[in-house]
Amino acid sequence: MARNEDDEEKVQPVSDEERQRVREALVAKYGPHLEPGETLTIDLERRREHCWGMVVLETSDDALRVEIEAAVVEQDLEDESLSLQRRFDAVLDLLDLQLHRFLSGERIERFHDDWRIYDLDGVTARFRGQVTKPSLDRLADAWLASHGDPGDEKPS
């Protein structure tokens, strides 16, 4: 499908208000599943070439950080005439689905840190996610710095 300059002008970046509305909707939906001290943040991007979003669930004490990302990339689409709104909605749907799976389960979702392809009602989307424990990572780094990395020792 050929694009013209008018199509390019219709692409509206995600406004702060829109980002806030999405965040508030997620907090309203998943607030009861959040532990004390946990917060949700969201970042969104809407461009002709791609729609992208990331939700971060983290604790105030850095005990847990969950990052989930979803994207719809124009080059992945079989149907390039798919509306930009449908692409953006697919990103939001995939973020919602993955957040739901994590929070409604036992919080042991096995995310993958490489982009994998998913089909969402005919829209090709990419997803990746990771769960980290920043405070534990810092403790481990500090211990390794003071004691040395056992993997660095040379056999005698």
SS3 (DSSP) at 136: helix
What pLDDT was estimated at residue 3? Answer: 46
- Distance, in Å, from the CA atom of 83 to the CA atom of 92, rounded to the nearest integer, reads 15
Amino acid at 108: I
Q: What mean pLDDT do residues 21-42 have? A: 96
SS3 (DSSP) at 147: helix
- Distance, in Å, from the CA atom of 123 to the CA atom of 92, rounded to the nearest integer, reads 12
Give the CA radius of gyration of the chain: 19
pLDDT tens per residue, range 71-119: 999 999 888 788 999 999 999 999 999 999 999 878 877 799 999 999 9
Q: pTM of the full predicted structure?
A: 0.81
What pLDDT was estimated at residue 154? Answer: 58
**Residue pair 45/87 in contact by the 8 Å Cβ criterion:** no
Element (H, E) at 92: helix 84-104
SS3 (DSSP) at 73: strand
Instruction: Map out the domains of the chain as residue ranges.
Output: 5-147
DSSP summary character for residue 122: T
- Distance, in Å, from the CA atom of 71 to the CA atom of 123, rounded to the nearest integer, reads 11
- Distance, in Å, from the CA atom of 2 to the CA atom of 24, rounded to the nearest integer, reads 37
